[in-house]
Copies of this chain bind each other. A is one copy, B any other.
Amino acid sequence: MTEAAKPIRVALLGCGTVGTQIVRLLTEQADDLAARVGAPVELAGIAVRRANKPRPGVPAELLTTDAAGLVTRDDVDVVVEVIGGIEPTRDWLLTALKAGKSVVTANKALLAEHAGDLFAAADATGADLYFEAAVAGAIPLLRPLRESMAGDRITRVMGIVNGTTNFILSAMDETGAGYAEALDEASRLGYAEADPTADVEGYDAASKAAILASIAFHTRVTAGQVHREGITGVTAADVAAARALGRTIKLLAICERVEAGGDRPGEAVAVRVHPAMIPRSHPLAGVNGAFNAVFVEADAAGQLMFYGQGAGGAPTASAVLGDLVAVARNRVVGGRGPRESAYADLPVRPIAQAATRYHISLDVADRAGVLAAVAAVFAQHEVSIAAVRQEGRSSDASLVIVTHSAPDAALRSTVDKIAGLPFVHDVVSVMRVEGEEL
């Protein structure tokens, strides 16, 4: 590092929870960052919606409401974006990349829809595009997938990538509360946003799953291609049923390399987000609250796990600053970070063709022949039963069935048919099952 190295100038878009932490770390760790980059890293400006809001620790003279102007300023080398949302953020980042500014973003929704456009704009000018903070907060996950495992063949990525839903499901499991009650608690404690839709309906996790699948399988996957089920339909009865089987319910993001199926030869990608029962002995079962954890399976590496804080100002800022050091260093010493790797271009297989195991819990009349009739419906739909448990309860009985892997469509038809049987009083719970065979 030469003493006179030209500073790397950073435009920050957004100054909320994460942005404030970025400003703090850039200031407090200025000497360390300069040593690691090989040049000072300086804030050139901070774009906010309201410039006159008090922001302790944030230099007021850097604030501007003109994001579009800031990102193309001549004295800006790197744009760091922590605003979120699709528009107008997308426009600003495309403009920045086209102007040759490198971009570091935490914006999962944008990446999951428009990664192709953003990478193309970056390629046109040789700029860098980094987004470690977009998935699993502080956990180094995208860089290991993109770089450390670049010599391996990843077969599966499965994890808990949304803290809000994990908090709610943990609370339901611990207290027996219903979904609405647990959501209220999460809102009260600040774990759920005023409008929790993006989290509880699985949109946030689906965006992250799309990003993970794109990187793991070198194939462009968008959020719209991810099969998505949220947790709003998870009931106290589901949670109790899971508990009775030594299991717990987690919202999982699962990205798999699968056979294309149908009459297509070769491989495909299957990406899904849904609640599932997993064994309490599974490492993901112990991941509680705002923590995230992701399993990665690869041919040579075997099974890996990454664990850490999935959200929050400081953890997210840590991931952003790691990326910022990388792109700043690329500016100083030359070189570029990874570009989009979508050469494999595998088809994305629809969920209807996906096979998962299911747990079905029924309230049935307690009389002879019920199990035989129910089993016959499973057989008609070619859904194979792995285990059955039947318990009499005075006039009715509880019937719990766990299937072998079955296509989603076949299972849905089976359950529809069973629900209409005269001696079936209630379909208490239908839930996918992940983890080892029962």
A residues at B contact (CB < 8 Å) = 21, 25, 29, 32-33, 35-36, 132, 138-140, 143-144, 147-153, 218, 283, 298-309, 314-315, 317-326, 329-330, 333-336, 338, 341, 343-344
One complex includes copies of this chain to the number of 2
Q: Which B residues are CB-close (under 8 A) to A318?
A: 149, 151-152, 298, 300-301
Interface residue from B32, B218, B299, B319 paired with A301 (Cβ < 8 Å): B319
Neighbouring B residues of A25 by C-beta, 8 Å: 151-152, 300
Inter-chain contact B324/A335, CB cutoff 8 Å: no
Q: A140 vs B306: C-alpha distance in the bound complex, in angstroms?
A: 9
State whether B341 touches A335 (Cβ < 8 A). no
Determine how close the nearest CB of chain B comes to the CB of A311; give it in whole angstroms: 11
Does A151 lie within 8 Å of B315, measured CB to CB? no
Given contact pairs A300-B314, A305-B307, A148 touches B152 in the complex (Cβ within 8 A): no
Nearest-CB distance from A374 to chain B (Å)?
Answer: 39
Residue among B305, B334, B343 making CB contact with A308, cutoff 8 Å: B305
A79 CB → nearest B CB, Å: 16
Q: How far is the CA of A33 from the CA of B143 in the complex (A)?
A: 17
* 7 nearest A-B residue pairs (beta carbon): A335-B335, A151-B321, A140-B148, A140-B144, A300-B318, A138-B301, A150-B325
Q: List 13 A-B contacts (CB under 8 A).
A: A32-B153, A32-B344, A35-B343, A36-B150, A138-B304, A143-B147, A150-B325, A298-B318, A300-B314, A300-B315, A301-B314, A302-B308, A306-B306
Interface residue from B21, B333, B336, B341 paired with A333 (Cβ < 8 Å): B336
For A153, the chain B residues whose CB sits under 8 A away are 29, 32
* Contacting residues, chain B, for A21 (C-beta < 8 A): 300
Do A151 and B303 touch across chains, with their CB atoms under 8 A apart? no
Residues of B within 8 Å of A335, CB to CB, are 330, 333-336
The chain B residue sitting closest to A149, CB to CB, is B322
| A29 vs B150: C-alpha distance when bound (angstroms) | 11
| Residue contact A147 to B301, C-beta cutoff 8 Å | no
CB distance B304 to A139 under 8 Å?
yes
Output the nearest chain B residue to A153 by Cβ-Cβ distance. B29
Point out the residues of chain B lying under 8 angstroms from A147, CB to CB.
140, 143, 322, 325-326
A319 x B148 contact (CB < 8 A): yes
Closest to A320 in B: B151
Docked-complex contact B321 and A300, CB < 8 angstroms = yes
